[in-house]
Structure 1
Amino acid sequence: MPETLAETFETQRERLRAVAHRVLGSAADAEDVVQEAWLRLSRQDAAEIHNLEGWLTTVVGRLSLDVLRSRRARPETPYDGIVVAVDDGNAPAENVELADSVGLALLVVLESLGPNERLAFVLHDLFAVPFEEIGRILGKSPGATKMLASRARRKVRTPARTPVAGPEQREVVQAFLTAARDGDFEGLLRVLDPDVRLTIDNPDGMVVVLGATNVAAGARFGAAKDGRRVLVGGLPGVVAWREDGTPLSVVAFTVLAGRIASIAAVTDPVKLASMDLPEPPETVGTSR
């Protein structure tokens, strides 16, 4: 019987890991949560579990919620599952694979949500878990849970599925970077959606900037001379470094209908250190 239960759990492992990863933002934390879920299952009488998938989702949800709540007093979320790769301008098949990974654009915004909002949004909008089941995890009614997810959805405003970076998306981002470097305010407005949202994860917490005019006014974050074009979880982006070769920022752009709809930036050194980033250009740290 234990072997059969273990085999059954293995069929659920990838889905459970995906749930925990999107809720927590950390691949390592997600793995710990899934392993703890297995330990709890192994101590249960399997005959008493009528819906194993639902039971495991509930356990993973509750464990993830505990982790989120503990972070409120000890914020140290790593972005260790973000895939950052040098953008060579082609390899569309690889872009699709990257788009299936957890995206920085979504995770940075999720960091700005409260634990209950985050769990309700991820479970319902990304994994279609009914509000009744989510409510049992949160200890709330289905109606209250639906309101949490709705409130989170208004804040997120980011596609649940990452659009693949194609030539048009790259051109829009390049136009933004060029305008930022040249101080071309009108050029920035042309490529920014009027309702664009910029979310910056910095050492002091989250900063959210709304609207094309406000984002364009602070667009120097994308103008680093030594920035390298990358794909961040499948999205076009840029990595910049300090003179000593340590990462300065990672920025990911979501382009919809020919304009930049959202920008996610990480400048927190602790978060940047948790990411597997490409090497800086040879020009970094050398005299010019």
Structure 2
Amino acid sequence: MAASDSDDVIARAFDEQRGRLVAVASRMLGSRADAEDAVQEAWLKLSRQDATTIDNLAGWLTTVVGRVCIDILRSRRARREVAYDDRVPELVVTDDSHGTPEDEAALAESVGLALMVVLDTLSPAERLAFVLHDMFAVTFEEIGPIIGKSANASKMLASRARQKVQGSPRPAEQRRGERAVVDAFLAAARDGDFEGLLRVLDPDVTWRTHTAHGVEVLVGATTVAAIAQRRARARGRGHRVLVNGNPGMVAWSTTGMPIGVMGCTVVGDRIVEILSLRDPERLAAMNLPGHPD
């Protein structure tokens, strides 16, 4: 077979695997863009490899993508995510009014992204073992060489990871309780009820806002309450949504332009973290629910 013909065969075989590889890398990295980069790196490695030495292309590519993902996760931990935290996160915003098949499908996607937050608490090796085995049915015998462990050690890593993510997604009753806390927060902000805001905010609450100019971070209940009161004075209309499975709101201006998206993480009866997006260009590109008629 001519070299060009062989290259075409390898390229076609890689394209057949691309979708699965991107799915694996997306679960590992929590970002479609990073996943595409990891898969592209695997392609570059493959293009430099003598394909005749590869007995199992699918397994070889899974190994390469897995190791690239582990390297990326370890690099994030080493930096402790200064640059990573500054990136606009992946957001799935859905209407908080369930009942239709479309609503349920959107909720499932948002809960899937909420699971990514839990996966971020795992070590890179735990995360890879869990993702490959539990989500993609890769055997522990295949996982072991990827992370440099035995099959039994890989099984233990996946088991430990499974215990950490146990309980996701949250039951409906818990989600309703979280919604009530966030609704109380929004009502107190609109009413200028400072004490009411403090009752639903954790003393060490963090509010991270992604804007067109970077990230603004507020820490502490009194600081967050003051800013929440000021922002609530803006003229417009709010619409209840879920942001990556967490209760929140989309704010619309009187002219029908999105002002911002906010999602809240609730623990017990207090908000411990707020994530919001106030970048007009990014907001305009999103298909946000609740557009004013």
The bucket for the TM-score relative to the shorter chain is 0.5 to 0.7
Residue 194 of structure 2 is matched in structure 1 by 185
For 1:40, which of 29, 44, 65 is the aligned residue? 44
Contact between 1:179 and 1:185, CA under 8 Å: does it hold in 2? yes
**In the alignment, which of 175, 199, 202 is matched to residue 208 of structure 2?**
199
Deviation string, structure 1 residues 8-49 (Cα, Å, up to 9, x no partner)? 6665441112334x2xx4x3x245324413422431246479
Work out whether residues 25 and 39 of structure 2, in 8 Å CA contact, stay in contact via their aligned partners in 1: no
Change (3 A) 1:229 1:93: same
Give the deviation of 1:247 after TM superposition: 1.3
Structure 1 residues 252 and 216, CA, compared in 2 at 3 Å: closer, same or farther? same
Shift of 1:6: 6.5
Of 81, 87, 99, 2:111 maps to 99
Gap regions ≥5 residues in structure 1: 107-119, 134-160, 283-288
Report which of the two structures shows the higher radius of gyration computed on alpha carbons: 2
Matching residue of 2:280: 269
| 1:102 CA drift (Å) | 5.7
**Are the counterparts in 1 of residues 263 and 275 from structure 2 also a CA contact under 8 Å?**
yes
Deviation of 1:100 (Å): 0.6
1 or 2 for the larger relative contact order (CA 8 Å, sep ≥6)?
A: 1
TM-score normalised to structure 1 length: 0.63
**CA distance 1:9–1:122, change in 2 (3 Å):** farther
CA distance in 1: counterparts of 2:114 and 2:242, whole angstroms: 12
3-state SS of paired residue (1:253): strand
Residues paired across the two proteins, number: 233
Check 1:207–1:200 CA distance in 2 against 1; reply closer, same or farther (3 A cut): same
CA RMSD in angstroms, aligned pairs only: 4.3
> What does residue range 65-144 of structure 1 map to in structure 2 within 5 Å?
81-88=90-97, 94=105, 95-101=107-113, 124=124, 127=127
1:170 to 2:179 alignment: yes
Q: Which moved more, 1:266-275 or 1:188-197?
A: 266-275
**Gaps in structure 2 of 5+ consecutive residues:** 1-8, 130-144, 146-167
How far apart, in 1, do the equivalents of 2:275 and 2:113 lie?
Answer: 16
The 3 A distance-change label for structure 1 pair 122 and 30 is farther
CA contact (8 A) 1:78 1:274 kept: no
Q: Please name the residue that 1:136 is paired with.
A: none
Partner residue in 2 for 1:18: 27
Q: Which amino acid aligns with 1:42?
A: L
Amino acid at match of 1:208: V
Once residues 168 and 57 of structure 1 are traced to their aligned partners in structure 2, the CA distance between those partners, rounded to angstroms, is 38
Q: Give the whole-Å Cα distance in 1 for the aligned partners of 2:95 and 2:233.
A: 18
Residues 1:280 and 2:280 are matched in the alignment? no
Q: Secondary structure in 1 aligned to 2:237?
A: coil
Amino acid at match of 2:208: T
Q: Which amino acid aligns with 1:256?
A: V
Displacement, 1:101? 2.2
SS at match of 1:82: coil
| 1:231 pairs with one of 222, 242, 262 | 242
The secondary structure found in structure 1 opposite 2:281 is: helix
- 1:72-114: CA deviation from partner (whole Å, max 9, x where unpaired): 99xx9565x522111115679553442112689x6xxxxxxxx
Write the letter of the residue equivalent to 1:212: A
Which structure's residues are more often helix, by fraction? 2
Contact 2:38 2:69 in 1 (8 A): yes
Q: TM-score, normalised by structure 2?
A: 0.62
Q: Secondary structure at the residue paired with 2:113?
A: coil
